Structure 1
Amino acid sequence: MSEKPVEEMSFEEAMRALETLVGELERGDVPLEQSIALYERGAKLKARCETKLREAEEKVAKLTLDAEGRPTGTQPLDG
């Protein structure tokens, strides 16, 4: 079974894959060459998670209120 490309993974998929990979490396019974390949994939998974989190942060919006305190919409968090 081939692994899904990291670039196509959701945040949750990448986190699960990263957790599994870290578990394999922590067991310490993986041959050196495979450890290197796992480490390289882990770096890609970490970067994917960071990218997806950054994308989510950019979508976070705060509620805007009118003079009476009623919600009127949203605006960017850093807006």
Structure 2
Amino acid sequence: MTEIENMSFEEAMKELEATVGRLEHGEATLEESIALYERGAKLRAHCDKVLRAAEERVEKITLAAGGQPTGTVPVEGL
């Protein structure tokens, strides 16, 4: 199993969706379900962390008087 911290957002979401599917369909024993739930919670936390980091990097496009893009300004600068 891949370490969650090393997963991309897409990889983590794909595994999280598969985990939720297994839990919803009752395809696991009680012990397996508990382990799946715990891993799912970690995957969700990782996805939240990656999304927050992406939001922090979002930049605002600045426009010149004529409406042409002139560059970007970091969100923190707003």
Fold match (TM-score > 0.5): yes
Alpha-carbon distance between aligned partners in 2 of 1:67 and 1:29, rounded to the nearest angstrom: 60
Alpha-carbon distance between aligned partners in 1 of 2:32 and 2:4, rounded to the nearest angstrom: 18
Deviations 1:38-66 (A, max 9, x none): 00000000001001111111111111123
Please provide the CA RMSD for this pair: 1.2
1:62 aligns with 2:60: yes
Name the structure 2 match of 1:38.
36
Deviations 1:5-58 (A, max 9, x none): 000000000000000000000111311111000000000000010011111111
Instruction: Give 4+ residue runs of structure 1 displaced > 4 Å after superposition.
Output: none
Q: How high is the sequence identity, in percent, across the aligned residues?
A: 61
Matched residue count = 77
Name the structure 2 match of 1:50.
48
Amino acid at match of 2:39: R
Amino acid at match of 1:56: A
Shift of 1:78: 4.2
Q: Structure 1 regions of 5+ residues with no counterpart?
A: none
